[in-house]
């Protein structure tokens, strides 16, 4: 088979897996978040012990409070675990993480970013990884999905009443526990078992010394990797057990584990779009959103694959192929597919080094993140991000024809559009202000490995990655300094929670409204026309915001 043929073959396999499973999982998710569903026996016991009322329908403000309170505790607990590492069992003799580093990592994993300034096998013990990092891999994913569920409820509900009953969007604790127990844990368990069979390690060893075939010494690192790898991919987290992340053979031993890990990043985000259609009472609405995600994602896969297989640039041309930073068992096409997936989904795991991608390839990866992580985005955040863009689209379309814009029968008035504008502007502000800070201070510049356009790309990629809660890196950047840890930690925190608060406020406003019947002036939001409009708005928003910085970075590099 030709090179292009095999590249298409792997995409066809991935697409088939997704088509077969997304509707099924989507139905399951919709049932999980439907109001009045029954509690499982274990859940009921848990709620009683934890003294939370899972049936209380929370006002959006209470929902926000619960999200923030829970996340705050998560950050503090993870910070404490990192600072106390030397006293923990299975710490492999590693010392405590430094204060700025422990804070950065705590924020990073609680915000579902999984930016890593440290090298896993050289800084973190098994207990910190399993009870700290892996737990937040589950919980940060569950928080994102809970917020998405609350937002969809706000859109789908009819007038939750005036006064005290207004603006109710569901119960955070029930959403959190159900997402974890019914969705993430069973899926992770299944994937972890399959990965272990494929060769991903699962042990509690200290590094083991072996004498190599030619008499050298090699220290082989172990760890509970399969269990962590599964949720790292499924929860679009991306924080590697080892420094090399999914390029490491112990995390990703071969082409089959590689395909499954790629699939795992995509399945929940796409299924949530499907679930949205069911919850909104009109599957076509979910289909339209899913179509936009799929079309933009497929385009980025095609472009990135083309870039890596063409291999522009001096070093790839000289070597005969862009294999720097790539593994032989995956090759160019599987690495390109992964790079598009990990940046399109806010995962940030890598199976090859993004800093060594070709200039156009690295540019597309950066562009995917700048889209705001919506093709199909992180678990939860991808769906609510795309729905906010849908609101922008009906608003713009409404202005063009002079009608009052509405989405799913909900009117988009002044208050609503202010919240939407705040959402859309948050991450670009963080990226551009953060990038400017990095490039105008000595501490910021000190971290860059490259100079010229590639150096600019390293810095902008880092702040874009942090602000959009992706976590992948142009890893030539030395980011483990107090300056970079603090800057990126702040970007991650604001980039996660400011949009969440705005989205939940919007959910509250929508929940309060009744549903207007569609009129002749209503823009149908399930037709191909809307798909095109939404894709256009997504691209134009990013384009207008980021073209200058992209021109100075990857575009200048591609043209030089």
Which of 52, 96, 166, 298 is close enough to bind another protein by CB under 8 A? 52
Residue 180 as a binder of another protein (CB under 8 A): the answer is yes
> By C-alpha distance, which of 192, 140, 243, 228 is closest to 500?
140
Per-residue x/- track, 514-533, another protein (CB under 8 A):
--------------------
Contacts of 126 (CB under 8 A, 6+ apart): 90, 91, 92, 204, 223, 224
Closer Cβ to another protein, 409 or 480, answer by number = 480
Could you tell me if 291 and 302 are in contact, meaning their C-beta atoms sit under 8 angstroms apart? no
List the interface residues with another protein, window 310-329 (CB under 8 A). Answer: 312-316, 318-329
Q: In sequence order, what are the beta bridge partners of 190?
A: none
Chain Cα centroid distance, residue 176? 17
Least separation, in Å, of the C-beta of 244 and another protein?
4
**Segment contacting another protein (CB under 8 A): 21-29, 194-202, 265-273, 280-288?**
194-202
Complex with another protein: residue 62 or 486, whichever CB lies closer: 62
| Packed helices 381-401 and 482-512: angle between N→C axes, nearest 10 degrees | 60
CB of 52 to another protein, least distance (A): 5
37 HSE (CA, 13 A, CB side) = 18
From candidates 96, 166, 193, 552, binder to another protein by CB under 8 A = 193
Burial of 8 by CB count in 10 Å (0-12 exposed, 13-18 middle, 19+ buried)? Answer: middle
**Cβ partners under 8 Å of residue 491, min gap 6:** 430, 431, 434, 463, 466, 467
358 lies in the site for another protein, by CB under 8 A: yes
Three-state DSSP at 262 gives: helix
Which stretch in 9-17, 24-32, 282-290, 403-411 sits in contact with another protein by CB under 8 A?
A: 9-17
Residues 328-347 that bind another protein (CB under 8 A): 328-332, 334-335
Least Cβ distance, residue 65 to another protein (angstroms):
5
The C-alpha atoms of residue 406 and residue 422 are separated, in whole angstroms, by: 19
How many residues bind another protein (CB under 8 A)? The answer is 126
Residue closer to another protein by CB (options 65, 409) is: 65
Closest C-alpha to 484, from 444, 516, 431, 532: 444
**250 contacts another protein (rule: CB under 8 A):** yes
Nearer Cβ to another protein (130/488): 130
By CB under 8 A, which span of 277-285, 298-306, 355-363, 419-427 interacts with another protein? Answer: 355-363
Instruction: Name the nearest CA neighbour of 176 among 385, 388, 286, 32.
Output: 32
DSSP string over 96-141: PPPHHHHHHHHHHHHTT----SS-HHHH--HHIIIIIIHHHHHHHH
441 binds another protein (CB under 8 A): no
- 200 token code pair: 């991903």
Which of 17, 28, 43, 202 forms a contact with another protein (CB under 8 A)? 202
| Binding pattern for the stretch 206-235 against another protein, x by CB under 8 A and - elsewhere | -xxxxxxxxxx-xxxxx-x-xxx-------
Q: What string marks each residue from 403 to 432 as x (binds another protein by CB under 8 A) or -?
A: ------------------------------
DSSP state of 354: G
Burial class for 552, CB neighbours closer than 10 Å (0-12, 13-18, 19+): middle
Rounded Cα gap, residues 334 and 355, in angstroms: 17
Q: Of 79, 103, 151, 242, which one interacts with another protein (CB under 8 A)?
A: 242
Number of Cβ within 10 Å of residue 255's Cβ equals: 14
Which residues, numbered 452-491, are part of the site for another protein (CB under 8 A)?
A: 454, 457, 474-476
Q: Is 302 in the site for another protein (CB under 8 A)?
A: no
Q: For residues 493 and 424, give the distance between their C-alpha atoms in angstroms, rounded to a whole number.
A: 16
C-beta of 345: minimal distance to another protein in Å?
19
What track of x and - describes contact with another protein for positions 102 through 141 (by CB under 8 A)?
Answer: -----------------x-xx-------xxx-xx--xx--
Residues 71-100 that bind another protein (CB under 8 A): 71-74, 77
């Amino acid at each position: 088979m030709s090179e292009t043929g095999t590249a298409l073959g792997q995409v066809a396999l991935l697409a088939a897996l997704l088509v077969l499973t997304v509707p099924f999982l989507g139905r399951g998710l919709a049932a999980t978040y439907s109001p009045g569903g029954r509690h499982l026996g274990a859940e009921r016991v848990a709620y009683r012990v934890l003294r939370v009322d899972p049936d209380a329908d929370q006002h959006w403000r209470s929902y926000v409070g619960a999200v923030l309170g829970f996340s705050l505790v998560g950050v503090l607990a993870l910070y404490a675990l990192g600072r106390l590492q030397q006293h923990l069992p299975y710490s492999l003799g590693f010392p405590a993480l430094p204060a700025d580093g422990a804070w950065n990592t705590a924020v990073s994993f609680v915000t579902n970013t999984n930016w890593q300034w440290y090298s896993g096998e050289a800084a973190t013990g098994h207990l910190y990884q399993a009870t700290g990092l892996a737990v937040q891999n589950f919980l940060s994913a569950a928080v994102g999905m809970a917020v998405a569920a609350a937002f969809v409820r706000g859109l789908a509900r009819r007038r939750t009443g005036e006064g005290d009953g207004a603006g109710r969007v569901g119960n955070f604790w029930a959403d959190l526990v159900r997402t974890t127990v019914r969705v993430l844990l069973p899926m992770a368990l299944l994937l972890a078992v399959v990965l272990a069979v494929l060769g991903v390690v699962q042990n509690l060893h200290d590094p083991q010394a072996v004498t190599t075939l030619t008499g050298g010494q090699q220290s082989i690192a172990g760890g509970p990797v399969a269990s962590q790898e599964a949720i790292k991919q499924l929860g679009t987290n991306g924080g590697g057990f080892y420094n090399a992340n999914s390029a490491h053979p112990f995390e990703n031993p071969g082409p089959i584990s590689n395909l499954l890990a790629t699939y795992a990043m995509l399945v929940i985000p796409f299924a949530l779009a499907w679930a949205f259609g069911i919850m909104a009472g009109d599957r076509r609405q979910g289909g339209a959103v899913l179509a936009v995600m799929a079309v933009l994602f497929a385009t980025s896969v095609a472009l990135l694959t083309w870039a890596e297989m063409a291999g522009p640039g001096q070093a790839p041309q000289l070597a005969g192929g862009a294999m720097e930073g790539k593994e032989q068992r995956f090759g160019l096409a599987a690495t390109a597919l992964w790079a598009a997936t990990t940046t399109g989904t806010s995962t940030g795991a890598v199976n090859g080094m993004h800093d060594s991608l070709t200039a156009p390839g690295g540019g597309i990866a950066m562009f995917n993140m700048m889209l705001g992580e919506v093709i199909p985005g992180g678990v939860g955040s991808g769906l609510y991000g795309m729905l906010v863009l849908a609101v922008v689209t009906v608003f713009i379309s409404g202005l063009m024809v002079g009608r009052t814009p509405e989405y799913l029968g909900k009117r988009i008035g002044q208050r609503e559009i202010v919240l939407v504008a705040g959402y859309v502007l948050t991450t670009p502000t963080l990226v551009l202000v953060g990038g400017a800070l990095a490039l105008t201070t000595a501490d910021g510049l000190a971290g860059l490995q490259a100079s010229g356009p590639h150096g600019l790309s390293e810095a902008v990629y880092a702040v874009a990655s942090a602000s959009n809660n992706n976590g992948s890196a142009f890893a030539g950047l030395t980011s483990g300094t107090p300056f970079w840890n603090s800057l990126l930690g702040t970007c991650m925190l604001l980039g996660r929670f400011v949009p969440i608060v705005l989205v939940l406020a919007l959910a509250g406003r929508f929940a309060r409204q009744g549903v207007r019947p569609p009129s002749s002036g209503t823009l149908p939001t399930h037709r191909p026309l809307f798909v095109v409009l939404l894709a256009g708005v997504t691209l134009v928003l990013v384009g207008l915001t980021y073209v200058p910085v992209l021109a100075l970075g990857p575009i200048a590099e591609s043209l030089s």
